[in-house]
Amino acid sequence: MNGLRSAGHENVLLAHRESPLWQRAKADGFPVYPATFAKLWRRSRHVDLVHAHDARAHSMAAVACRNRFVVSRRVGFPVGGSLLSRWKYRRPARFLAVSQFVTKQLKSAGVPSEKIDLVYDAVEIQQAADVWSPEYPAVALASLDPQKGRVLVEEAAKLASIPVIYSDNLPEALRRASMLVYITRSEGLGSAALLAMAMGVPVIGSAVDGLAELLSDGVGLLVPNDAAEIGRAMVSLRNDPALAHVLIERGRARVEQQFTMRHLVQAVLKSYERTLAG
C-alpha cells in the first residue's frame, strides 16, 4: 500500500478491526474499515479495483464485490475441486500468483493462463545481520504447524549438535544467526527465507516446489525432509565459512534482482493495468 501510494495511487483497506495490519495502516494514514460483507458491498462501488489478499477475502469478494477484483494466491496448497470452489475461482478477473509453482497449481485447477500473473513477494529492508560466525546458533520458525517441520529440525539439530533458536521474531533472531533452517512440507514461495537472504543469512531449505524455486541455482542448500540430511547440511554450513559467504552473496544478489519492493509494486501495477484494460 505504501508503494502504491508512492506511485500515485490511493488505497482503502478493509481489515480485521484493531489487528496489527489495521493499526499499521491507520498509523501510516490510510483509510481503514472493518472487513465485512456489508462494507465490501458498499465500498467496492467507489473504487477502480478490489484486491483480495487471502482465502477469506477471496470468498468475500466472490459474494459481495460489486466491481472487478483480483486475488493474490500465496499458499502452496492445491485448489479444491468442489462445485463451490470452481465457482469461486471463476469469479476473479485475475490472479496474482506468488511463484511459478502456484501458477501451475492455478492452471491445473482450470484457471486460464491469460488470467494469471506471476507476482513475487518482496522483502522490506531490514537491518543487516552481524558478520557471519559459525558460533552463532541456527534459527528456525517457532511455528508448531505440522506442515512447517519443526520436529525434523529438532531431530536434525540433535544429530548435528548445533543449537537452534525457534523464533517468531525473525528480524531480531536473524541478526546473530549462522543459518536459517526452513523445513516445510509445502510452500508457495518462502517469505522467511527471503528475509534471511536480504539480511545476509545463509538458508537451508526443504526441496519443495515454491521454496526450491526461491533457493535454486546454489542460492541456498536444498535438502529432502529427512533429519539426517538436514543435520548434515547444517554441519557442512557451520564448518565451511567459504560456503556460507557464497550463499550470503548469492542470496543478497537474488533479492536485489527479483524481490525488492520496487519489483513488487511494478508487477502489481502491471497486473492492475491488464485487469482494467479488460
127 lies in some domain? no
Co-location of 220 and 174 in the same domain:
yes
| Residue 138 and residue 164 in contact, taking contact as beta carbons nearer than 8 Å | yes
61 lies in some domain? yes
15 lies in some domain? no
Co-location of 265 and 244 in the same domain:
no
What CATH number does residue 228 fall under? 3.40.50.2000
Co-location of 145 and 236 in the same domain:
yes
| Residue 264 and residue 122 in contact, taking contact as beta carbons nearer than 8 Å | yes
Give, for all 278 residues of the chain, the pLDDT tens digit: 999 999 999 999 999 999 999 999 999 999 999 999 999 999 999 999 999 999 999 999 999 999 999 999 999 888 888 889 999 999 999 999 999 999 999 999 999 999 999 999 999 877 788 999 999 999 999 988 877 899 999 999 999 999 999 999 999 999 999 999 999 999 999 999 999 999 999 999 999 999 999 999 999 999 999 999 999 999 999 999 999 999 999 999 999 999 999 999 999 999 999 999 98
Co-location of 232 and 142 in the same domain:
yes
| Residue 272 and residue 49 in contact, taking contact as beta carbons nearer than 8 Å | yes
Strand partners, 33: 14
133 lies in some domain? no
Co-location of 194 and 265 in the same domain:
no
Which strand (E) or helix (H) includes residue 50?
strand 50-52
Co-location of 192 and 267 in the same domain:
no
Co-location of 254 and 244 in the same domain:
yes
Radius of gyration of the chain (CA): 20
Residues 6+ apart with CB under 8 A from 91: 61, 62, 69
203 lies in some domain? yes
Q: Residue 235's pLDDT is what? A: 98
Alpha-carbon gap, residue 130 to 135, rounded angstroms: 12
Co-location of 82 and 181 in the same domain:
no
Co-location of 94 and 173 in the same domain:
no
CB atoms within 10 A of CB 172: 13
30 lies in some domain? no
Q: Residue 163's pLDDT is what? A: 97
Give the whole-number percent of the chain exceeding pLDDT 70.
Answer: 100
Co-location of 146 and 240 in the same domain:
yes
60 lies in some domain? yes
Per-residue pLDDT reduced to its tens digit, 206-236: 999 999 999 999 999 999 999 999 999 999 9
Co-location of 269 and 243 in the same domain:
no
Co-location of 74 and 170 in the same domain:
no
Per-residue pLDDT reduced to its tens digit, 100-147: 999 999 999 999 999 999 999 999 877 788 999 999 999 999 988 877
- Domain count of the fold of the chain: 2
Could you tell me the residue range of the domain that residue 79 belongs to? 36-121+260-276
155 lies in some domain? yes
> Most distant CA pair in the chain: distance in Å?
60
